[in-house]
Chain A
Amino acid sequence: MALDSRGFALPDTQARPEPENPVESPLQEERKSRVSAPGWLAVIWQNRKSRVGLGILGVFVILAVFAPWIAPFDPHDTQFFPSEQPSAAHWLGTTQAGEDILSQLIWGARTSLLVGLFAGFFSTVIGLVIGMIAGYAGGWLDDILSFFINLALVVPTLPLMITLSAYSQITGIAFIIFVISITGWGWGARVKRSQIITLRERDYITASLFAGDSMFRIVFREIMPNMMSLIVASFIGAAGAAIGAEAGLAFLGLGDPMTVSWGTMLNWANNSGAMLTGQWAWLVAPGLALALLITSLTLINFGVDAISNPHLREE
């Protein structure tokens, strides 16, 4: 069964037994014969939710890229009066070590976007390769790979990441990206495998075989172009999950102590008794930023999903 980025079933043409000489549903045929598919960009832009998402993401990207110029102070600079409430000089107040919270917030965007981009990318690639091999090869290779995919899905990721981090002698952003990538590829692999199994049966793939194309060429030049919206949606989803995962790890103190990230900010806030000092801004801001960023990605995905599932389009 073909799935969209969240794993929900796409209109399924496989579940029914194939009739002798199938004819399309008469109503569908009548609509299709006059109306052609809108360009994918148009679909995303038409969708109100994804427009909003793109806007929000844009703001964060600007913050991250231009952080050195936008942030008022150096985030590690401890010269300021500690534990201050929001004021004109410090919009979000200061930490109990005397650092400016707003600057930390702006620089934190870099960490989140970086982790989201790279961990999202790597876990998507791993999922893509494994899912596609499993789906296309079939047979015993598929059985073995499917087992691993199911395993990757079922094992709880945060405990695994925690355990791996606890034993590791390396720390740092690269390690975090690594850990997130190797634990989070399961979902993408499963979705892509389903999709390939559906596409592999299409006549045009058999035709490619008969046109003399090699398997490599078929998988990458014939099948993959038909999966692009799924792959994009999957990447966006993986990026969002990675951002959340990094925040969780950082909050538990397993993040990179050298870099500023929203998760570590929350960690410091919690440990330094921000609640006792009533510094609500310190508590609210990083979490809100996380939520907004991840939400923007989810919203964009609404638009991407609408490309593959016409039912969800806003007509």
Chain B
Amino acid sequence: MADQRSNGPTSPGLEPIFAVRDLDVTYLTRHRPPFQAVKGASLAIAPGEIVGLVGESGSGKSTLGNAAIHLIDPPGAITGGSVWFKGTDITRFTEDQMRPLRWKEIATVFQSSMNSLNPVINIERQFQDAIQAHTGMSDSQCRARTAELLQMVTIDPSFMRFFPHELSGGMKQRVALALALALDPSFVLLDEPTTGLDVVVQKSILRNLKEIQRQHGFSVLFISHDLGAIMEVADRVIVMYDGELVDSKPTENLLTSDLHPYSRSLLNAYRELWGVPPDATTSAMVDAVASHQDEPVRPIAALTPGDETVAPTDRDVAAVESDLERRKRERRRSTAGSGEVVLDVRDIVKTYTRRRGFTSTTVDAVQHVSFRLERGKITALVGQSGSGKSTIGRLVTGVERADSGAVSFLAGGANRKVDVGALKGRALKDYRRHAQLVFQDPYSALNPAHTIAHSLMRPLRNYRKMNATEARAEAMRMLEQVGLTPAERFIDKYPHQVSGGQRQRVVVARALAPQPEILIADEPTSMLDVSIRAEILELLNDLVRDHNLAMLYITHDLLSARLLSDEILVLNHGRVVESGGAERVIEEPQDDYTELLLKSIPNPFAPAAAAG
């Protein structure tokens, strides 16, 4: 779909600093058919411009960026087109030819959870070897420069002596950023630089980045799956789908431009997640759904809830709009306290002691937290890493025991009260039937050595005492219930044969198999593509209402909590700093921390557009 939308810098006439033309990148393996990750891509970045490249998993965005600067390993290779840097064709440059450009002109920052810093040398030396590879600076000069760079990214220079494993994730990323800027490059490639970091940390790093870029004027290619983060910093946004660049628009016009159906559906996925009314340009919607039916990258089609194969019409879209309104009303009704309480958490405290050498530090994971879970209601625990939310999840399921306070499970009304913390052995095993988990990582939540049938049948045979035939029939029924129809197509597959979203549905089905009263979902969608997140949250919502379950939704994403839950508890360092109805917490936050969280979430739809 190469047309005027996808190339040309914003200021025509200015020589682009970095450009690719009709680039093809293919993975050529000996024993499998070649896989083309990038197809005929063309883009150009002007000096001083920040360009964001957004795409979901499998889109080829990382391959594009890394291949262009000769950083991908065999069997991946550039198989067509050209790459230009400052007017020179670098497509066929050898490593020796690239080396003078590296770091001095072209620098990179990789993904935060990566192991990008050499674990056996300290921070100072990480800078030193890069600087000394290209300049004749002495050791002390390097040290001075390193201190300067660290301060630029708000890190105390004394951290130079430390080793990478002694720094937190956020700090390592700042170091990586400072490292990239060490030699004042003219072009910086950022590949998922803030993915995996706390929202607050991410916001501060992005703001820092923008300031530095304004001062020094280097160009940036920012690759990410997070559209919000990209729109925070980029001047222009390029959208990539299935190896092709489908759109290239200035950021400020993105929401109002005429977009490729995929881009449109991507934006709508975000809207859905954050409860913003969908884009009502209907004919484009029809195109979007009709032309993108394949897995795994599939744009959201679930604006008609539950039915993924039918293209929405005008009426459907209107129906969806009112459907969202309806759900909002339903939720308001249910918060009036109609459900029975199944889990009562009172004043729980949990402290961990960590031993390092001869000293020990105490970490107050959970401090005096109380809440209740009611049938038919979804309660969200929102917090960043270290807030204690996962610990609470473990306390509720009996995996760990609270130091004080009580977690009580009320089975069959308030008659039988079970102290979850005191459960052991057989009793604990029985309890697990009532409180089930939905996991975060769909890739590790299903045993790769067994079929889906096996994984689903285990709880049926253990808890509902079914025999093999009964269990299989029930498993098929459950697959249909979570939207995997026809069940025959999925039941005997292995996990690696289905997509991430489909796996997560199986995980949900398995959780519901023993017919629990409580469902605990710990970040169930954070590892899925944005376009699929809304569907899974939809699914959970429907199942909770239909089966009258109590659900605890643990997440770091405050806005998705609004979509799904009735009540929100905001956690900060183990304490509940805010609690209340979902709408209220988001629209009228009382606590400063909640406000900080809301401000930090990159939300391109927020009315007051971020002016940096």
Contacts and interface: CB of A to CB of B under 8 A. Distances in A.
Contacts of B225: 23
B467 interface: no
Contacts of A206: 437, 439
Contacts of A31: 27, 35, 76
B60 interface: yes
A210 B111 contact: no
B496 A33 contact: no
Contact of A19 (B58, B66, B169, B436): B169
Contact of B196 (A19, A36, A202): A19
B113 interface: yes
B510 A30 contact: no
B75 A21 contact: no
B367 interface: no
B283 interface: no
Contacts of A207: 437, 439, 445-447, 455, 507, 510
Nearest to A21: B526
Most buried by A among B76, B196, B436, B511: B196
- The range of chain B's interface size is 35 or more
Interface string B398-438: 00000000000000000000000000000001001100110
Interface stretch (B86-94, B175-183, B340-348, B457-465): B457-465
Contacts of B195: 19, 21, 23
A19 B170 CA distance: 10
A203 B446 CA distance: 7
Contact of B112 (A19, A33, A204): A19
A222 B114 CA distance: 29
B527 to A, nearest CB: 7
A35 interface: yes
Contact of B192 (A16, A26, A37): A26
A209 interface: yes
B196 A38 contact: no
Contacts of B458: 208, 211-213
Interface in A15-73: 15-27, 29-31, 33-38, 42, 46
A30 B57 contact: yes
A193 B30 CA distance: 35
Contacts of B27: 31, 35
A38 B31 CA distance: 9
B527 A23 contact: yes
Nearest to B460: A211
A213 B458 CA distance: 7
Contacts of A18: 113
A27 B191 CA distance: 10
A30 B527 contact: no
A33 B58 contact: yes
A212 B556 contact: no
B443 to A, nearest CB: 8
B584 interface: no
Interface residues of A, number: 40
B558 interface: no
A114 B8 CA distance: 73
Interface string B217-253: 0000001010000000000000000000000000000
Most buried by B among A22, A35, A46, A206: A22
A30 B60 contact: yes
A247 B367 CA distance: 65
A19 B113 contact: yes
Most buried by B among A15, A31, A38, A210: A210
B191 A34 contact: no
Contacts of B111: 23, 25-26
B450 interface: yes
A181 B223 CA distance: 55
B581 to A, nearest CB: 26
A120 B273 CA distance: 57
Given A21-B196, A22-B196, A34 B439 contact: no
B61 interface: yes
Given A23-B111, A315-B75, A30 B497 contact: no
Given A26-B191, A27-B72, A212 B432 contact: yes
A206 B197 CA distance: 25
Most buried by B among A22, A27, A315: A27
B192 A23 contact: yes
A195 to B, nearest CB: 14
Give the 4 A-B CB pairs with smallest separation, nearest first: A212-B462, A19-B196, A26-B62, A225-B449
Interface of A: 15-27, 29-31, 33-38, 42, 46, 202-204, 206-213, 222, 225-226, 314-315
Given A46-B31, A212-B514, 18 more contacts: A19-B112, A19-B385, A20-B556, A21-B526, A21-B527, A22-B196, A23-B111, A25-B114, A27-B66, A29-B62, A36-B497, A203-B439, A204-B455, A206-B437, A207-B447, A210-B437, A212-B463, A213-B458
15 contacts: A19-B112, A20-B384, A21-B523, A21-B526, A23-B527, A29-B62, A30-B62, A31-B76, A36-B497, A38-B32, A203-B444, A208-B447, A210-B511, A212-B432, A225-B447
